[in-house]
Chains A and B, each alone.
Chain A
Amino acid sequence: MEIYGLLPRTNCGKCGTTCLGFAVKLLQGKARLEDCPLLSQPEYAANLEALRRILPKPSEHPVELVDPERCTGCGNCVVACPANVALEPETATGATPRSTEVIFRVRDGRVELLNPDKCRRNPPWNLQCRVCEDYCYAGVVRVR
């Protein structure tokens, strides 16, 4: 509600939803402040600043771990990720990756995100892949 209180609350629909819906999407990381054209106007400058302070900072990488302590170490992301398998081919058979060159690895019962820059959502591949997020039992792995 704090986020909603700082939005224009005109329900103009230009972001594709109502202001309340937009507030929820901002919190979920499914929308950006730039998606609301009214917020860039001078009368909403203070609101925009406040929103930038209170909203979680988006990750600069396309994949991140949210609440990693909830991870159960199932390894689905490790084996499902095609980039992981390309970096350490034995992973394709379900084996534990040993190197630190992979994107995901399970260590001490939880997943580690070692090299998110190697994710193929990044250039030059720009793939719309989200298998790590789709197959995560605990909802820890998120694709931005």
Chain B
Amino acid sequence: MTLVCTGCSLLCDDLVLDDEGHVLGACSHGYRRLKLARSGPRLKSPRLGYRRVDPDRAVRELVRALRSSRRVLVYGLERASDEALRLAVDLAERLNGLLDTRPTLTPRLAWGKVSKHLVTLDEAREEADAVLMVCASPADSYLRLASKFLVFPKGWRIPEGRESRVVAVMDVRRTPAMRMANYRMATLEPWRLLEALRARVEGRPARPPRGVSMRELMMLASDLASSRMTVVALGLDGVREPGALVDEAVGLVEALKDRGVKAGVIPLSETPTGMGLVRELASLGDPRRPLNPGGGEAPPSLAEALGMVDAVLVVASDPVSHLPLALSRRLASRRLVVLDDHETMTSRLASLVVPVAVLGVEEGGQATRTDGVSMRLSVVGEPPEGVLRLADLLEQLVEEV
């Protein structure tokens, strides 16, 4: 049986579940998600405070908590189908609430600038003979990015696979991914490197930032300018100036296009379904700000949004682990309700925890890959008794609130 993986935002669609229950093709991140569904550690029973309660009571308490709150922030949706995302927006609207997600999500920060330069991973595999991985950490985060899409596979116009491509890996530190690169560029100012590359592509003089030699800069600029297609796989991991990095990446792509090189950007989402959420937010307003689906002005930041609510419904996310301490404290001081498939730092602080099915294993639907391509998720089994699918639970909440 073929599966679509939900271990990261690549949503690899070629996993195979054999008759003995082994999984072929899944990297360690993907395998961990599949194992979660089978053997844990997952949430199986709802919890009210420290007491386990039955699922029906949990849903009643959930509805009561949402109705009795002055204003609710729906937060997260990092592992949610497109259907669940739309239901979450609907729910936030009915509650006259707000909706937000991880502030540092790359597609979110980059959306306004990169949306007209997006290319798909499949297109890159088939045609890109020059690849820049910018602060992307493929060896840690997007494990199959190189082997399935951007570096090793052969494509329609890439007959020799790796040998047909120029690969540059640039990051703020030396990374294991640099092993596969022609250009290995570690610099604390990657945006300056992109700025210098752009200048060279445009025929202007430029100096490289510290950590990169002039020779490397000149050679890489020449390779990019003479490529058929250049793709920038953009991450913002560890970057001090994410806005500047996005600007310079887009500037480089535009400069290459002016020279007749096909070029594009793939913003790498740190969460499996982050791109889907960003597109949903972008269709309703500025995706960089929390959403106020009921109309009216949206708060400018998560900090402001938390100041406007007295309850937070955390859906498939662990904000306490990724937010700065001050924001985590503020979030935890609100009435906290969590819907998730496994125990997290946030769920340990919640007053009510309701388990949901594992996406891509027990819950299907459509989901959006990091390059914006829609994928049909697979279902290989039923969730444990009493555990609802997220989309079904959100639909029930929309009806009852």
Inter-subunit contact B176/A137 (CB<8 Å): yes
Inter-subunit contact B22/A92 (CB<8 Å): no
* Bound form: Cα–Cα A75–B125 in Å: 15
A76 part of interface (Cβ distance < 8 Å): yes
* Bound form: Cα–Cα A95–B139 in Å: 18
Contacts across chains A and B counted by CB atoms under 8 Å: 100
* Bound form: Cα–Cα A75–B142 in Å: 11
Contact with A along B16-34 (1 / 0, CB 8 A): 1000001111111111100
A residues apposed to B, CB below 8 Å: 71-76, 78-80, 92-98, 105-110, 131, 134-138
Enumerate chain B residues within 8 angstroms of A92, measured Cβ to Cβ: 153-154, 161
Enumerate chain B residues within 8 angstroms of A73, measured Cβ to Cβ: 26-28, 30-31, 143
Min CB distance A86 to B, Å, is 12
Inter-subunit contact A76/B153 (CB<8 Å): no
* Bound form: Cα–Cα A72–B32 in Å: 11
Residue of B nearest to A96 (CB): B25
Inter-subunit contact A134/B179 (CB<8 Å): yes
Contact with A along B186-218 (1 / 0, CB 8 A): 000000000000000000000000000000000
Inter-subunit contact A108/B152 (CB<8 Å): no
Enumerate chain B residues within 8 angstroms of A76, measured Cβ to Cβ: 146-147, 151-152, 180
B residues apposed to A, CB below 8 Å: 14-16, 22-32, 125, 138-139, 143-144, 146-149, 151-155, 161-162, 176-177, 179-180
* Bound form: Cα–Cα A139–B161 in Å: 22
Inter-subunit contact B177/A75 (CB<8 Å): no
Question: Top 5 closest A-B pairs, CB basis?
Answer: A109-B31, A96-B25, A94-B153, A75-B147, A73-B27
Inter-subunit contact B148/A135 (CB<8 Å): no
**B14 CB contact (under 8 Å) in A95, A109, A131, A138:** A95
Enumerate chain A residues within 8 angstroms of B144, measured Cβ to Cβ: 74-75, 94
* Bound form: Cα–Cα A91–B22 in Å: 19
Q: Other than the known A80-B152, A92-B154, A107-B22, what 8 A-B pairs have Cβ atoms closer than 8 Å?
A: A74-B139, A79-B152, A79-B153, A80-B162, A93-B153, A94-B147, A96-B14, A109-B28
